[in-house]
Structure 1
Amino acid sequence: MSVRQEMPGRLLRLLALLQSRREWPGRELAERVGVTTRTLRRDIDRLRALDYPVESTGGTGGGYRLGRGGRLPPLVLDDDEAVAAGVALAAAASVNPGLGESATRALAKLGQVLPARLRPRLAAAGSVVVAPARGVPADDLPGEPDQSGGPGGDIGGGLPAVDPDRLALLAAACRDAEVVSLRYVSRGRDTDRRVEPQRLVVAEGRWYLSAHDLGRDAARIFRLDRMRDVTATGRRFVPRPQSEDPVAQLRESFAAATYRHTAHVTIELPEPEVRRWVPALPGGLSADGPDRCRARVSADSAELVVQYVALLAALAAARGAGVTVEAGPEVTGPLRSLGTTLAATP
C-alpha cells in the first residue's frame, strides 16, 4: 500500500489519539502513529487544513493538543465507546422528554455509520429502561436477592462498574429470548443460576436484570455487577407475561426486600398525607384505617433507617399525631439520643 493510500487511515488514528488525551508530546505521538516527527508535523498541518484546531504546545521537543474550534469536529470512537454512546442515547431518549427527539436523531446517525459487527449490540441497547431518580440515598439500593426473593443491599463506596461485554450479552438475550447461565454472588453465597432474561433496568446508576429464575421458578431481580461467568446457552424460550412497567416492578422489589435493619412505624395520620410528605420511603407505606397508616423502613444502613424514622416522627409531631416505633436497639438507641438532644435544645 502506498503512503498516499494509507494517509486517510493514519489521519484518523492521529485524530483519535488527539481526542483521547489533553496533550501529547510530539515524539510520543509520532511513535503511537508510527511515523517520524517530520511526517507527524505534515499530518498535523493536513488536519489543520481540514479545520481541526490542532494547537502546538511548548516544552521539551514540543507537543500537540486538540483545541476548541468554531464547529464540532467528527469524533473517532472505538467499539466500546460507540456502544456506550448508543446505550446513553437510548437511555436519554427514554427518560428525558426534552432530549428525546435529539437523542433519537443522534442514535439513528450512529446506527448508520456503525460497523456491522456492532449493530446487534446497539440494537439490543434499545431494550434498556431507565428509572427516574427517586430521591433516596444510593446506600439503600439493593445489591443481590435475599432468601425472600427481593433484592438485598450492599453498602459500598461509589457505584460499581459493569463489563460492557456482559451488558451487551444480556441485552441481546433479552431481545432474542435466550436462556442465560451465570454464577451469582449473594451475601457471601455463590450460586449457579439459569435464567430467562426479560429487561435491563438502570436505577440510580446501577444496572439490574429482571428475569425468571428457572431453578426457583420465580421472578427475580439481579444486579449485573454481582454476576460471574455469564454465558448465552443458545436455548430459546417463549417469553412469559411480565409487568408493563418494569420500573414499578423494580421499585416493588426494592420495597418488599428485607435488609439488615428494619423499623415498623405506626402513624396516626391518613396514608395519603404521609405519602405526600415522604414519597420516597425506603420500604413500604400502607393504610391501617382511614386515619392511621403503617410504614416499614428497611435498609442495610442503620443510620439511614434512623433518618427516615425520625422524619416520620417529626411529621407526626408537627401535626399533633401519635407515633409508635418497633425496631431493634441499633435504631431505637440513636432515636432516643436524638429525642433527648432535641428536648434539651432551648
Structure 2
Amino acid sequence: MLISIGRAVYLPIFTAVALGYLLSLGLARLGSARRPVLAGALRQAQRLPQLLSRYLFLVGIPLCVVNFVRAADLSLSVFIAPLVAWMAMLLAIVITWASLHVSTRVSSPGEKGSLLLLSYIGNTSYLGFPVILFLPQLGPDYFSWAVLYDVLGTFFGAYVLGLVLASMHSGDAPTGVPFWQQGLREVLRNPSLYAFTLGLALRPVPLPRELLTLLGGVAWLSIMLCLVLMGIRLQQLSSWDHLDIAMRPVLIKMLIVPLVIAAGLTAFGVDGPARLVLILQASMPCAVATVVLAERYGLDRDLVVAAVGLSTLLLVFTVPLWVVAFTSWS
C-alpha cells in the first residue's frame, strides 16, 4: 500500500511542488543578479505567482469543481462534509484556546491569534484536492466530498470566522469596512461556490465528448498548477523561526483533531472512502490563507510562515498514516 501511495500520490505531487520551488528559486537568483538586460522580463516573470494564483482562484479550481462534481457519485450523505468541516474547525479552536489558557509561553495577542488561525484553517483545496484525486483508494468519485468540505467549510472558516478571530487579536486591523462585510464579500466572490452549483446542474445534461475531454484536461492541468504554486509559495517563505511554538497548532491541526473526527465518524457509522476523505481533509496542512490574514491584521507573520512550512513538510508522513489506518475496503 505504501508503495502505491508513493507512486500515485507523492510522485506527481512532489514533482510539481519541486518544479515550482526551483522555478521560484531561479527567478529569485536572477533578480538578485541585477542584470539590466533582463530587468523587464524578470519584472514580468516575478508576477507569475500572483497571476497563477488568480487564474486558479477564478478559473482553474472552479473548472475542476465543475468537471469532477458533474461526474461524481453523489448522494445526500455527501452534505455531511461541511458539517464535519465545521466540527473539526470548532474543535481545533477549543483545544487551542484551552491550551493558551494553561500555557505562559505565548503572551502577545498577535501570537494567540496566529495560533488560533493556524490550528483550524487547512489547505483543503490546493493540497487537499490533489491528494484526494491522486489516491488510488479514492479518486474523482469522491471529489465532491472534498469540494463541499472546502467550499462550505474551510472557505467560510477562513474568510468569515477567520476575519473575526484575526480582528479580535489584531494590533493593526484595517479600518473602514467591518469584518463581517469583508467576510460576506469574500464568500460571495468565491467562484468555486457557483461552480459546484453549475456542476450539479450539468449532471443530467449530455455534453459532447470533445468538450468533456477538454474540460477534463484543463481540470487536471489546474490541479498540477496548484502544486506548482505551492512550491513557489514554499520557496518564498522567509522565516523558519518559532518552530517550537509552531509545532503546537500543527499537531492540533494534523494529528489531534483528525483522530477525534475519525473516532466520531466511526462511532456514527460513517466508514469506507467517505470517512477517509473527511479525515484527510481534516488533517491537511495549515493554509497559506493564514499568512494573508496575519499580514492584513498585524499578527505574528513569522510564526504563521513557520507553521505553514512545517505542516506542509509533515504531509509526507501523515497521508500514509491515515490511509493505512482507515482504509477498510479492498
Asked if Structure 1 and Structure 2 have the same fold, meaning a TM-score greater than 0.5 normalized by the shorter chain, the answer is no
Q: Give TM-score, length-normalised by structure 1.
A: 0.23
TM-score by length of 2: 0.23
Which structure has the highest helix share of the two? 2
Structure 1 or 2: more strand by fraction: 1
Greater RCO structure (CA 8 Å; 6+ sep): 2
